[in-house]
Structure formats: structure tokens, C-alpha cells
Amino acid sequence: MSLFNMGDKAYLMLADGTVFEGYSFGAKGTSFGEIVFATGMTGYEETLSDPSYYGQIVTQTFPLIGNYGVNDEDYESKTSVVSGYVVREWCNAPSNFRCEGNVDEFLKKHNIIGIHSIDTRCLTRIIREHGVMNGVITTENVYEKKDEFLKKISEFKIVNAVKSVTVKEQEFFKADNAKYNVALFDFGYKFNIRRELVKRGCNVTVVPADTTAEQIKALAPDGIMLSNGPGDPAENVEVIANLREVNKLGIPTFGICLGHQLTALANGAKTEKLKYGHRGANQPVIDIALDKTFVTSQNHGYAVVSDSIDPSVGEVSHKNANDGTCEGVRYKSFPCFTVQFHPEACGGPHDTAYLFDEFIDMIKKNKEDN
């Protein structure tokens, strides 16, 4: 951002009363949320349009954001649901042949409050030390409303996240030379999940999160995809109960992120909230069967508790190389595997895209056997 045009003042206040002063870009106003950080050096468009960030104020740890601008083709959803955006420096003169606008214009279009020129390194260290905390991002004078804001910060909670982002009715996407039909549960899905399926010859029917097992059975899909999404997985009581019935259909199933967590909960496992979550494009994950470590893209604040998985039901297939948390489960009583990370990651890394091929192979084998 040019030093000759810093913009109006903006503030970010944490639950502990810490205030960061910076300058405003994007929309004006006040927004409360859960403050998280993402470590990606690129992919800010995908971050801003990822429904998994519902209710969260996103901090980018990479110091310069916006240098290649934005364009509609890279969005992961139709809109943006982040509660605020925090960067060290934003580029107001992007340069890229695909550029259709800048980050400031994107934030204004989607009514998202942004703040720049704060010490994001310091903010990230606070979150790493104390864990994810609530906060407020505002263009009002935070000092004049400090007590009021602190009260609202303490009361803030992300609720009805999946209900807020899922489609309201089915949407159909046809593949060229289609071989299979896949039902994609939309818990807040990223468009690239659909793209990865379509380019592998799958017609995709995106279905609302509350779609029942009977409705899935009526669609008669060859496979089921359970998408990523926002919020506390345990909040989705009705969805979890329904997934138990969906699992009984015996249809090959692949779950990603929230879909991974919900499947675990539906099969008797537990989830826990992580101190500051895994968000970014550099999370190392070990594929236990292959005995290989892959670099993955991740965005989650909860994890499946490995010890809570019944060995007769499933087994941990992947684990995080940093903290040992569960990153994948393969189930034994029905054809299903799930992962915590994002094999569809766009813009990368693409190391684990092979899992989509495994899913297609599972569908193919199931059709041949039946």
C-alpha cells in the first residue's frame, strides 16, 4: 500500500483487550469474529472465498497480499463469508494478465472490513501463545466503545455455520464423457472439489447439508462426497445422525475436512478444538500406508481424536507430522475414507490429488462387484 495514501484509521481488538491500530481498506463498519491466521504465501483469493472461514477474522501471515489481484475464475464459492481481513501490506497496483480487480475492491463488493499496516507477526505470536480468540475489527474509535466491544467479544460464538453456507436446493454439473454420478454434500464446499470430480468424468449433484439418506438413495449415485465446511462439527447433530444412515447405504464415500470430522462423529469417535488450528498451505501429513510425507493445504480448528476411533470401525490412515493429530481415517464396515486436509487445494499444493483417483477407483470397483 502506498505510504502517500494510507486511508482512514481502523482497529483490531482481541478478547484480552489488546488493540492493534492500522488503516482501513475494504468496507467500513464493525464486525466480530474468531481471529485465526493462515500461512499461505499465495491463494488469498481462495482463502477469502472459502466457506470454511465463516465467522472468522482471517490474518495473513505472509506480509504482502494482493500483488496479482483477483479474478472470478479463482473463487471457491459464490461469495465471501469471512468476518474480517487482516494484512501487513496490501498491493493497490496488482500486475497479472488474469487480474480483474484488487483486494480492496473485492472486500468492498462483499462488505468485508479490512485492516492493513499492523504487525501481523506480533498478532500471530499472540494467537500461537494463547490460542484462537475472539475479537473485533472496526473503523469506529475502539477506545470510545472498548467496554461495549469487549462484552460483545466475550459473547460471540460461531453458530449455525453449516446452515448458513449450504445450498438451499440441488445443483447439477455435467461432465464431458461422464462415467459416474456423484452426490456432493455441501457443508460449505469449495468449488475445486466439484472441478476435480468433473474432470475425472463424474456428473456432480450438489445437495444441501440436510439431505436425507432416503433422498440420496433415490438419486442412486455411484459415489458420495462429503465436503469441507465451517464451525464446530459436533454442532451438526441432525447431519451426524443422518450420515449414520447414509453410511449404511454402502455407497463409496470420500470425506474432506468437515466431512471427515462428521463421518468420525457418526461412527462413535470424538472431535476436539485445537489451540490455534491448522491453516495454510504447508502442513506436513504422513500417509501411514505409503510411509510418505506430503505437504498439504489445511483450514480447520477441530480435529478427530485418534484414540476415540473404534478399531473395529476404522483406523487412522494419515497423521500430522508436526503434532501427531489425526489427518485421515479408513473405515472397515463400509467403503469410505476421509481426510482432514484439502487434496483439491487450489492454488496448491497438489501433492495429495491422488486421493481423488483412489475415490474413482473405489467407485469403479464397487460398480464392477455389483
Mean pLDDT calculated for residue range 117-129: 96
* pLDDT, average across residues 134-154: 97
Q: What pLDDT sits at residue 183? A: 98
State whether 57 and 125 are in the same domain: yes
Does one domain contain both 215 and 359?
A: yes
Query: Is 195 in the same domain as 211?
Result: yes
Is residue 121 a part of any domain in this protein?
yes
Q: Which of 25, 151, 3 is nearest to 84 (CA)?
A: 25
Mean pLDDT in residue range 129-138: 95
| pLDDT of 323 strictly over 70 | yes
% of the chain exceeding 70 in pLDDT: 98
Per-residue pLDDT tens digits for 224-254: 999 999 999 999 999 999 999 999 999 999 9
355 and 214 within one domain = yes
Percent of residues, the chain, with pLDDT higher than 90:
91
pLDDT of the residue at 1: 44
> Are 15 and 137 contained in the same domain?
yes
Q: Say if residues 336 and 249 touch (Cβ distance below 8 Å).
A: no
Residue at 74 is within a domain: yes
pLDDT band at 346 (very low <50, low <70, confident <90, very high): confident
Confidence of residue 350 (pLDDT cuts 50, 70, 90): confident
What's the structural domain count of the chain? 2
Mean pLDDT to the nearest integer, 292-304: 95
> Rounded mean pLDDT of 45-61?
96
Q: What is the pLDDT of residue 41?
A: 87
Mean pLDDT for the stretch of residues 43-62: 95
pLDDT at 3 over 80: no
Mean pLDDT estimate for the chain: 95
Assess whether pLDDT exceeds 50 at residue 2: no
Region 247-271: mean pLDDT is 98
Higher pLDDT, residue 160 or 3: 160
Tell me: do 114 and 171 sit in the same domain: no
Q: Is residue 2 part of a domain?
A: no
Residues 98 and 229 grouped into a single domain: no
Q: Give the per-residue pLDDT at 369.
A: 87
Distance of CA 279 to the CA centre of its chain: 9
Q: Are residues 147 and 183 both part of a single domain?
A: no
285 pLDDT more than 80: yes
Q: Which residues are catalytic?
A: 257, 342, 344
Residue closest to 316 by CA, chosen among 301, 297, 337? 337
**68-82 pLDDT tens trace:** 999 988 899 999 999
Q: By CB neighbour count within 10 A (0-12 exposed, 13-18 middle, 19+ buried), where does 151 fall? A: exposed
Mean per-residue pLDDT for 198-203? 97
- On whether residue 186 sits in a domain, the answer given is yes
CATH of the domain at 25: 3.50.30.20
Cα–Cα distance, 169 to 209 (Å, whole number): 10
The C-alpha cell at 118 is 499492523
- Provide the residue type at 257 as one letter: C
Cβ atoms of residues 347 and 96 within 8 Å: no
Claim to verify: residue 127 and residue 168 sit in the same structural domain: no
Residue range 307-325: mean pLDDT, rounded = 97
Q: Are 216 and 205 in contact (CB under 8 A)?
A: no
Please report which confidence band the pLDDT of residue 348 belongs to, taking 50, 70 and 90 as the band edges.
Answer: confident
Distance CA 158, CA 83 (A): 11
Residue after which a domain boundary falls, among 158, 182, 212? 158
pLDDT at 5: 55
Query: CATH code at 283?
Result: 3.40.50.880
Same domain, 198 and 332: yes
Give the pLDDT confidence score for residue 342 in this predicted structure: 94
Domain presence at residue 4 = no
- Residue 261's identity, in one-letter code, is Q
**Domain presence at residue 59:** yes
Q: Which of 158, 180, 203 represents a domain boundary (last residue)? A: 158
Domain presence at residue 303: yes
- 334 and 202 in a single domain? The answer is yes
25 CB-near residues (< 8 Å, 6+ apart): 1, 7, 90, 103, 104, 107, 114, 115, 116
Judge contact between 289 and 265, C-beta under 8 A: no
* Domain stops at, among 158, 176, 209: 158
**Helix H or strand E encompassing 105:** helix 103-109
**245 and 132, same structural domain?**
no
Average pLDDT over residues 141-165: 97
Range of the structural domain that residue 325 is part of? 162-369
Task: Kindly state whether residue 200 falls inside one of the protein's structural domains.
Answer: yes
Percent of residues in the chain assigned helix, strand, coil, to nearest 5: 25, 30, 40
Question: Minimal CA–CA distance to 296: which of 246, 343, 331, 364?
Answer: 343
